[in-house]
Amino acid sequence: MRRATRAKWGVCAVGVALVATACGGGAGAGRSGVVSSSWGDPQNPLEPANTNEVQGGKVLEMLFRGLKRYDPKTGAAENVIADRIETSDSQNFTVTLKTGWTFSNGEKVTAKSFVDAWNYGALLSNKQKNAAFFQYIDGFAQVHPDGGSPRAKTLSGLVVKDDRTFTVKLNQKFSSWPDTLGYSAFMPLPQAFFRDHDAWIQKPVGNGPYLVDSYEKGSVLRMRKWGKYPGDDPARNGGIDLRVYTDNNTAYTDLQAGNLDLVDDIPAAQLKHVKSDLVGRYINQPAGIIQTLTFPMYDKRWNRPGAEKVRRGISMAIDRDQITREIFQRTRTPATDWTSPVLGADGGYKPGLCGDACVFDAARAKQLVKEGGGIPGGRMTLTYNADTGSHKDWIDATCNSINKSLGDDNACVGNPVGTFADFRNKITAKRMPGPFRAGWQMDYPLIQNFLQPLYYTNASSNDGKFSNRPFDKLVNEANAATDTGQAVAKFQDAEKILAQQMPAIPLWYQNGSGGYSDRISHVSLNPFSVPVYNEIKVN
Amino acid sequence: MGRYVIRRLLQMIPVFIGSTFLIFFMVYALGDPVAAMFGDRAPDPATAAQIRRDLYLDEPLWKQYLHYMGQIFQGNFGTAFNGQSVTELMASAFPVTLRLTIVAIVIEMVVGIVLGVFSGLRRGRDIDTTVLVLSLVVVSIPTFVSGYLLQFVFGVQWGWAAPSVAPEAPLNELLLPGLVLALVSLAYVTRLTRTSIAENARADYVRTALAKGLPRHRVITRHLLRNSLIPVVTFIGTDIGALMGGAIVTERIFNIHGVGFQLYQGILRQNSPTVVGFVTILVLVFLLANLLVDLLYAVLDPRIRYA
């Protein structure tokens, strides 16, 4: 009976082991003061000028402090390391640093820390994905030419005066330029970064409230409070463990099981019952993200005279209220302008600026589309990428709404593209057959960031290739204005041209959503929909 | 026997080249990954060109493939976008998936064969019917359903096991995911064993063995089981490769950072070195598992050995 016995033993072993997991579970124990949070694997190594997505960005926010920082509540740019940034002509700036700031390895934060970091970020051969953020600094064309190799190693517009001071010369007037300096691309770097780049990448050293304890790429990044942090926003917890999840459903399940403290992305399927699951521990608040349907203005059929009526008509045919309620469970808010509510009235957000064109009116929509000569070819497609973000649901709902309003079942149909990469390729190659989905997450809370990169002629993210001379002129004037109020007014005038021309239909403002365990408190999201980690308290 | 093994090993070379080329071609057909690296922002052309040159993407496909193969034979599987070398990813991912696969195979073998033997020997009785119905139910439930269900019940409701596996993936945390991964194959193993046992139970040699007075348990373990296990071993052998590749779903549900996780990331980001490298290794695992099965045949059935 030798074999049979062995088989039975096997069964018992498995049974025992299954029970044993009961004791082995609960990874939550034994990490006092440390908050565990869900994370997505960042796409690039964690370098300030090479991080252009949220997952890497949230780490930089914990590890670094720059000249400015965006207030986690209001989004206003406030001086951190900058003592003052002065200019008399909106083009030449003198930056003076505060004293007493060091990196966590003891090195002083000086003017050189910034200038070296920016030069590194801008230089073409370093292949930094955020290089374009330095494009306004004089000499960018030499270090980052459109083709060929760089003709200079450093930006001629940056000059170190002494340890505490450096000057910046821009290649155009840009009054709100200092307010862009809270973006992670502008963070200072210690000399260790340049001396031993590989070692630095393994374990980044910054000057923020946290320092890296250990980093297992692709699975967990453990950060601990830096006791000697000189800033006035130190960590109020012992540290943060960022754990990589590929599936936000698993992260949510872990949260429910008490295995995880914080989830900053509630899966769509859970939205219906998240409020009862996490009583009082569910966050749903506006973030600086807007979603639009962009028209391919390079396509003659969409850009002939009179087509603006069709574009406006399609906008009116979309029942934003119903879609945000039914599909998104109110984690989106119907958009009535091209910016975001997080800017606030002073920052340039103006509800209703889009006017009638963003108000659902089926009869008027039908009439406008007819006046404009109808939908090109009688039928249009809404292109989206089907691999992430569950875009299919809302695209189908939007098409449904358009079809119903226009009284034509064939007016609109969704057009899925397999992968995000392919989707982006088709957009860059100007091969979009009709309107396509677009999302814009702000880099910094400025109205300029919602308009110029997206609709200025030949701007970096002007995917629809919209080009309008009065619009460009107003943007230039706004950038040159020294008075913030004046600049905002000019930008809003430019926005009114968008309302007339409708190169992109504003759909809805996206909220940030999150949930947390009863182990922690003081959890909130900043205007970028990233949790304010250093404020979190462990109960 | 030795020549047989060598022949089988040589056969792997064309399979290896063919499969890598196919995978390479398919990943390439998905399009240029560089555009997506810049997110919703249009890539600045100069930087994009630099990245393309670095990743060897500006060359025609056949050149890229030759370059890639040349690198592989030097032991360099390329670099993932986050700056880690693919070999480094493999070194962290394969042990984890291997552990998960072993857990799954053990569960599948032990539970499957025991259930199969019991029901096969009691063909047509209640226990047999129950096992048949149960295995039918298990076969018809997709892995992601059973995965999420068991995760919720064991992990959240009862709190017996952690719903997700720690990065180190200790063996005890892999039991639940291993069970989920094993479920479908387990049902097949049960049914295969059952049929095979039921068939052979009436064979002449079993009757002879019983007639000459051997104890029943000895007849079952030495004679009946040994012959009946041949199809089961074939199945389990081919299943090793399938399980490692099929772990994609299970690993995602339980957040296990193994092969499935890396493949998923690689596909999502169109990182061809990651995808091609991992699949290449999987192909090798599959081929070796098949070889192992063929060798095991010879052990189980001497007639094959001397043929």
- Contact assessment for residue A50 and residue A129, using Cβ atoms and an 8 Å cutoff: yes
| Partner residue facing A2 (CB), from B44, B114, B221 | B221
Find residues 416-445 of chain A whose CB sits inside 8 Å of chain B. Answer: 418-425, 427-428, 438-441
The identity of residue A124, as a single letter, is L
Closest by alpha carbon to B232, among B121, B115, B137? Answer: B115
Q: Where are the beta strands (DSSP E) in chain B?
A: none
Q: Where are the beta strands (DSSP E) in A219-350?
A: 220-225, 239-244, 262-263, 282-294, 332-334
Name the helix (H) or strand (E) containing A215: strand A210-216
- Contact assessment for residue A44 and residue B81, using Cβ atoms and an 8 Å cutoff: yes
SS3 A170: strand
Check if B153 contacts A (Cβ < 8 Å).
no
Closest by alpha carbon to A480, among A173, A177, A180? Answer: A173
SS3 A102: strand
Tokens 């986050």 map to which residue? Answer: B82
- Contact assessment for residue B107 and residue B180, using Cβ atoms and an 8 Å cutoff: no
Per-residue pLDDT for chain A (539 aa), expressed as one digit of tens each? 344 433 334 333 444 444 333 333 334 434 579 999 999 888 888 999 999 888 999 999 999 999 999 999 888 899 999 999 999 988 999 999 999 999 999 999 999 999 999 999 999 999 998 998 999 999 999 999 988 889 999 999 999 999 999 999 999 888 889 999 999 999 999 999 999 999 999 999 999 999 999 998 888 999 999 999 999 999 999 999 999 998 888 999 999 988 899 998 888 888 888 989 898 999 998 899 999 999 999 999 999 988 999 999 999 999 999 999 988 888 899 999 999 999 999 889 999 999 999 999 999 999 999 999 999 988 999 999 987 777 999 999 999 999 999 999 889 999 999 888 888 888 988 999 999 999 899 988 999 999 999 999 988 889 999 999 999 999 999 998 888 899 999 999 999 999 999 999 999 999 988 999 999 999 999 999 899 999 999 98
How does DSSP assign B235-298, residue by residue? HHHHHHHHHHHHHHHHHHHTT--SHHHHHHHHHHTT-HHHHHHHHHHHHHHHHHHHHHHHHHHH
How does DSSP assign A32-77, residue by residue? TTEEEEEE---SS-S-GGG--SHHHHHHHHHH---SEEE-TTT--E
- The DSSP call for residue A250 is H
- Rounded mean pLDDT for each run of 10 residues along chain B, 307 residues in total: 79 85 82 79 83 84 87 84 84 90 92 91 89 91 89 87 83 89 91 91 88 88 85 84 81 89 84 85 84 79 65
| ipTM (interface pTM) | 0.83
Q: How far A453 CA lies from chain B's nearest CA (Å)?
A: 9
pLDDT in tens, A292-319: 999 999 999 999 988 999 999 999 999 9
Cα–Cα distance for residue pair A26/A33, rounded to 1 Å: 16
Dihedral Cα A192, A196, A197, A200, nearest 10 deg? -60
Cα–Cα distance for residue pair A536/A18, rounded to 1 Å: 35
Name the helix (H) or strand (E) containing A516: strand A504-516
Find residues 162-221 of chain B whose CB sits inside 8 Å of chain A. Answer: 162-164, 166-167, 170-173, 175-176, 217-218, 220-221
Q: What backbone phi and psi angles, to 5 degrees, belong to A363?
A: -65, -45
User: Is the full-model pTM beyond 0.80?
Assistant: yes
Cα–Cα distance for residue pair B191/B132, rounded to 1 Å: 7
pLDDT in tens, B9-22: 888 888 888 888 88
Q: Do B39 and A44 touch (CB under 8 A)?
A: no
pLDDT of res. B306:
56
Cα–Cα distance for residue pair A378/A410, rounded to 1 Å: 8
Closest by alpha carbon to B294, among B242, B230, B245? Answer: B230
pLDDT of res. A19:
39
Find residues 100-119 of chain B whose CB sits inside 8 Å of chain A. Answer: 106-107, 110-111, 113-114
Q: What backbone phi and psi angles, to 5 degrees, belong to A130?
A: -100, 15
Check if A463 contacts B (Cβ < 8 Å).
yes
- The DSSP call for residue B58 is T
Check if B51 contacts A (Cβ < 8 Å).
yes
